């Protein structure tokens, strides 16, 4: 039950995380929704978009689910969103709704929201070790600059070189694994946030890390009634 009195403008009203997404989901949606465009299910056809992409309406539906799960069926008065980026297999999607205004109208308690869908894509994974605490490791990973050079050969081969030297952390670059299909759609400086994160759980002083990209895929607004 949503507590109207506790909602504050500028704060997150609700959020939802879905994923990592799987290709099989796109196929099910294609067959159910009737959008059988091969760019959503076939790797070769998807090359036009540098790989398979999710249906736009499929990712929009996650926003609708977040709102309905929060206020209940029949209480979403309006929502709309603008597509900014593509969502792909393997992505984790984080959805958020930030309260921009709360008011009463025609006997209803209404809330206006800024809504957003953000994709989390793991581009590289590697192994590292450190005697630092989890908090210090996370801080150093997040604050260390990442330089990546990617070269494309005529035969389609891709070579990558990464410079990543977090303080107090030994990075095993020889074990670095790149997610090749996604390297083709690397970073857009004006749209993306790229940081390093711990992947999974630490085992003593050893752990896996990932170079992770965050990109806003949908931004929009919504109005809901608080029951």
User: Could you please report the per-residue DSSP string of 149-168?
Assistant: EEEE-TTS-EEEEEE---TT
Q: In this structure, are residues 89 and 21 in contact, taking their beta carbons and an 8 Å threshold?
A: yes
Least confident of 26-30, 44-48, 117-121, 197-201: 44-48
Is 66 in a helix, a strand, or coil? helix
What structural domains and CATH numbers belong to the chain?
4-119+216-225 (3.10.129.10), 121-214 (no CATH)
CA nearest 219: which of 140, 92, 116? Answer: 116
Is 74 in a helix, a strand, or coil? coil
- pTM to 2 decimals? 0.80
pLDDT in tens, 105-164: 999 999 999 999 999 988 778 888 999 988 898 888 888 887 776 665 555 555 666 778
* pLDDT exceeds cutoff 50 at 181: no
Is 214 in a helix, a strand, or coil? strand
Cα distance between residue 191 and residue 36, in whole Å? 29
**Which pLDDT belongs to residue 184?**
53
Cα distance between residue 30 and residue 191, in whole Å? 28
Is 77 in a helix, a strand, or coil? strand
CA nearest 58: which of 35, 77, 84, 37? Answer: 35
**Which pLDDT belongs to residue 138?**
87
**Which pLDDT belongs to residue 176?**
63
CA nearest 162: which of 180, 181, 179, 176? Answer: 176
The packing angle between helices 23-33 and 56-71, to 10°, is 90
Helix (H) or strand (E) holding 139: helix 134-143
* pLDDT exceeds cutoff 70 at 169: yes
Mean pLDDT along residues 13-40: 81
How many CA atoms are closer than 13 Å to the CA of 179, on its beta-carbon side?
18
């Amino acid at each position: 039950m949503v507590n109207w009195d506790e909602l504050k403008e500028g704060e997150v009203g609700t959020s939802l995380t879905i994923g990592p997404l799987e290709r099989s989901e796109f196929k099910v949606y294609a067959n159910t929704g009737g959008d059988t465009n091969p760019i959503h299910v076939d790797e070769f056809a998807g090359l036009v978009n540098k790989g398979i992409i999710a249906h736009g309406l499929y990712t929009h539906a996650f926003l609708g689910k977040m709102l309905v799960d929060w206020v209940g069926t029949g209480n979403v008065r309006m929502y709309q969103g603008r597509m900014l980026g593509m969502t792909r297999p393997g992505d984790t999607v984080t959805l958020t709704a930030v309260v921009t205004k709360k008011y009463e109208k025609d006997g209803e308690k209404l809330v206006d929201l800024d809504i957003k869908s953000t994709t989390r894509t793991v581009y590289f994974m590697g192994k590292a070790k450190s005697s630092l605490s989890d908090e210090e490791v996370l801080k150093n990973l997040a604050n260390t600059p990442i330089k990546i050079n990617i070269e494309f050969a005529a035969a389609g081969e891709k070579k990558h070189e990464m410079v990543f030297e977090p303080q107090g952390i030994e990075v095993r670059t020889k074990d670095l694994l790149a997610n090749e299909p996604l390297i083709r759609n690397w970073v857009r400086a004006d749209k993306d946030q790229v940081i390093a994160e711990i992947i999974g759980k630490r085992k003593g002083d050893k752990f896996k890390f990932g170079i992770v990209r965050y990109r806003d895929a949908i931004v929009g607004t919504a109005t809901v009634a608080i029951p």
